[in-house]
């Protein structure tokens, strides 16, 4: 299948050029705006070891990536504590409090974030942060990164009918911003998040901040980038500008 200018539809989607004119950009938060997964992993590892999970053996990072990263806390609680979900929900609440203490001191933006922020601001695009994180976490991270005035809306998976990997949070963002999925793209770093953006009908630029490329590719992103300095991203944005 080809577009009127002869490009294959896959190439056009990958380059983002088919979105012209661009109306909006949607960002995940954890792992997409900031490299927060190491802090989440540390908190889970320490607190699960304390209560003797996995026979007291610290969970490996692979377990965290495959079972926890990008998922909503309700699902994590059910996975880690299948026989006592209320205990699981309390555990994840306590873990989030530990994460926020760590984030206050250690949170750093993904490389190139402020460069892509300027590109977006220069074009007057609409913005939303769309996350499975609890509100206190999301607001803390956005504030610590100096982005409180950057986003027009903050959409929480926990405040939608279904969280990521379902499309509901991204569909809600489109509705709130009053923009078309055909003129919007998404930045995401997890399998769960990429699946949600794709299911909502938008191309997703995947960041390989922490999650392995082969995992992310299974979720069908438009393309993957290392960070916001990646030449692949800027080539795609330049092509979009030309349109």
Average pLDDT score over residue span 156-168: 97
Domain containing residue 167: CATH number:
3.40.50.1000
Q: How many angstroms separate the Cα of 199 from the Cα of each of 134, 173, 210?
A: 22, 14, 22
- What 3-state DSSP class applies to 69? coil
Domain boundary among 90, 106, 122: 106
What are the φ and ψ backbone dihedral angles of 142, each rounded to 5 degrees?
Answer: -60, -40
200 in a structural domain = yes
- CA–CA separation, 56 and 152 (whole Å): 44
Q: Indicate if 158 and 235 belong to the same structural domain.
A: yes
pLDDT at 91 over 80: yes
Domain boundary among 82, 106, 130: 106
Q: Indicate if 77 and 18 belong to the same structural domain.
A: no
Average pLDDT score over residue span 115-134: 98
Alpha helices by DSSP H, listed for 123-186, are: 135-144, 168-177
Residue 148 has what pLDDT?
Answer: 95
pLDDT at 9 over 60: no
pLDDT at 1 over 70: no
Cα 221–Cα 222–Cα 226 angle in degrees, nearest 5: 75
Domain boundary among 65, 88, 106: 106
**Number of domains within the chain:** 2
Q: Which residues of 104-143 are buried (b: 16+ CB within 10 A; e: fewer)?
A: eeebebbebbeebbebbeeeebbbbbbbbbbeebbbbbbe
Q: Indicate if 132 and 97 belong to the same structural domain.
A: no
- CA–CA separation, 230 and 174 (whole Å): 26
Q: Indicate if 236 and 162 belong to the same structural domain.
A: yes
1 in a structural domain = no
Q: Indicate if 174 and 130 belong to the same structural domain.
A: yes
pLDDT at 2 over 60: no
123 in a structural domain = yes
- Residue 15's pLDDT band (cuts 50, 70, 90): low
Query: Among residues 15, 37, 237, which one has the least CA distance to residue 137?
Result: 37
Alpha helices by DSSP H, listed for the chain, are: 9-15, 37-50, 61-67, 73-80, 85-106, 113-122, 135-144, 168-177, 191-199, 213-218, 231-242
Q: Indicate if 122 and 223 belong to the same structural domain.
A: yes
- When the pLDDT of each residue in the chain is averaged and rounded to a whole number, the result is 93
- Residue 243's pLDDT band (cuts 50, 70, 90): confident
Q: Indicate if 29 and 77 belong to the same structural domain.
A: no
Q: Indicate if 85 and 152 belong to the same structural domain.
A: no
Rg (CA), the chain: 18
Q: Which domain holds residue 88?
A: 37-106
Q: Is the dihedral of CA 172, 138, 41, 44 positive or negative?
A: negative
Q: Indicate if 95 and 153 belong to the same structural domain.
A: no
Residue 14 has what pLDDT?
Answer: 55
Query: Among residues 207, 231, 214, 215, which one has the least CA distance to residue 27?
Result: 207
Residue 58 has what pLDDT?
Answer: 97
Average pLDDT score over residue span 148-156: 97
pLDDT greater at residue 230 or residue 1: 230
**Residues designated catalytic:** 28, 30
Q: Indicate if 85 and 119 belong to the same structural domain.
A: no
pLDDT at 6 over 70: no
Average pLDDT score over residue span 116-141: 97
Q: Indicate if 55 and 88 belong to the same structural domain.
A: yes
- CA–CA separation, 223 and 128 (whole Å): 21
pLDDT at 122 over 70: yes
Q: How many CB atoms lie within 10 A of CB 41?
A: 20
pTM exceeds cut of 0.95:
no
Q: Indicate if 161 and 200 belong to the same structural domain.
A: yes
pLDDT at 63 over 50: yes
80 in a structural domain = yes
């Amino acid at each position: 299948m080809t577009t009127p200018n002869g490009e294959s539809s896959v190439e056009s989607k990958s380059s983002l050029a088919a979105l012209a004119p661009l109306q909006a950009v949607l960002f995940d938060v954890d792992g997409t705006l900031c490299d927060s997964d190491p802090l989440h992993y540390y908190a889970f590892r320490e607190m699960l070891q304390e209560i003797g999970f996995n026979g007291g053996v610290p969970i490996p990072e692979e377990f965290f990536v495959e079972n926890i990263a990008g998922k909503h806390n309700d699902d994590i609680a059910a996975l880690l504590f299948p026989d006592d979900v209320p205990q699981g929900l309390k555990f994840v609440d306590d873990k989030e409090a530990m994460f926020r203490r760590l984030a206050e001191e250690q949170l750093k933006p993904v490389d190139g974030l402020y460069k892509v922020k300027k590109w977006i601001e220069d074009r007057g695009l609409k913005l939303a942060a769309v996350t499975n994180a609890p509100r206190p976490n999301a607001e803390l991270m956005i504030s610590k990164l100096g982005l409180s005035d950057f986003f027009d809306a903050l959409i929480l998976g926990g405040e939608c009918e279904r969280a990521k990997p379902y499309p509901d949070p991204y569909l809600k963002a489109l509705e709130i911003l009053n923009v078309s999925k055909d003129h919007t793209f998404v930045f995401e770093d997890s399998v769960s998040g990429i699946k949600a953006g794709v299911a909502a009908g938008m191309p997703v630029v995947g960041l390989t901040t922490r999650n392995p490329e082969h995992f992310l590719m299974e979720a069908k992103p438009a393309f993957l980038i290392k960070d916001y300095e990646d030449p692949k991203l800027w080539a795609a944005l330049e092509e979009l500008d030309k349109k």
